[in-house]
Amino acid sequence: MKSLTNMDAVIRLNVTAGVPGMPGIVWMTASPLSPPYESVTLQTVASPVPKNQPDLVWKTFQYATRLRVGQSARAAGFDSALLIDVEGNLLEASHANIFVRLPSGWVTPSCNGNFLPGTLRAHVLKNAPLPMREDKVSIQKLSDCLEVFLTNSNIGIVPVTQIDSRRYAVGAQTKKLIEWLATAGD
């Protein structure tokens, strides 16, 4: 078995606030980097998280609800869940941000304090070699999508090949973005 010093790893620093009379706790974990996903499939699910909660934009330990919707999607034969707000707009996957390529170009849902904006999402928006923008993306626009991918700092950019019954090819632009991200640190 390789030691963590000889391979890519995910390092996580956790901090709790503590409670009156008790200090917070700080701890770190390390684990091997997950093997890359070739692609993922998503099932749309109404977001179980109420809008405009202040902790939605912070990475916290409050993710049991997202775990449950992801598990439900897996039980239905999908890899993860795609959360939709009450107005029928895309939010994010249960543990990743989503980008869709429409005929007008690449777009990711506007955060507006309704989900964790993601560090890789921000990096892609700012630095990608292709134009990216934030906007509302209604579920109806999924039928117009040319390409779809997820981002997460642990998985990078992963193509989406299916959302519900809609299928998507892994397109040339998604492949270009995966290659760009893989060589961004070189």
* Burial bucket for residue 158 (CB in 10 Å: 0-12, 13-18, 19+): buried
Measured CA to CA, the distance from residue 41 to residue 134 in angstroms comes to 22
In a domain, 130, yes or no: yes
Domain count, the chain: 1
DSSP state of 115: S
Specify whether the backbone of 147 is left (phi greater than 0), alpha (psi in -120 to 50) or beta. beta
In a domain, 102, yes or no: yes
- Amino acid found at 1: M
In a domain, 147, yes or no: yes
Give the pair of three-digit tokens for residue 139. Answer: 């579920």
In a domain, 19, yes or no: no
Question: What integer pLDDT is reported at residue 13 of this predicted model?
Answer: 62
In a domain, 22, yes or no: no
Question: What integer pLDDT is reported at residue 21 of this predicted model?
Answer: 87
Give the pair of three-digit tokens for residue 186. Answer: 């070189």
Q: Which domain holds residue 125?
A: 40-183
Q: Residue 138: which of 93, 86, 103 has the closest Cα?
A: 86
Q: What is the mean pLDDT of residues 101-130?
A: 90
In a domain, 118, yes or no: yes
- Amino acid found at 22: M
Which residues is 56 bridged to in the sheet? Answer: none
pLDDT tens-place string over residues 140-179? 999 999 999 999 888 899 999 999 999 999 999 999 999 9
pLDDT tens-place string over residues 22-62? 887 776 666 555 556 789 999 999 887 666 655 544 455 55
Taking 60 as the threshold, does the pLDDT of residue 186 lie above it?
no
In a domain, 80, yes or no: yes
* Model pTM above 0.85: no
Measured CA to CA, the distance from residue 170 to residue 55 in angstroms comes to 34
Q: Three-state SS for 173?
A: helix
- Higher-pLDDT residue of 118, 64: 118
CATH number at residue 162: 3.20.10.10
pLDDT tens-place string over residues 53-102? 555 444 555 566 767 888 899 999 999 999 998 899 999 998 899 999 99
Residue 43 and residue 76 in contact, taking contact as beta carbons nearer than 8 Å? yes
pLDDT tens-place string over residues 122-146? 999 999 999 999 999 999 999 999 9
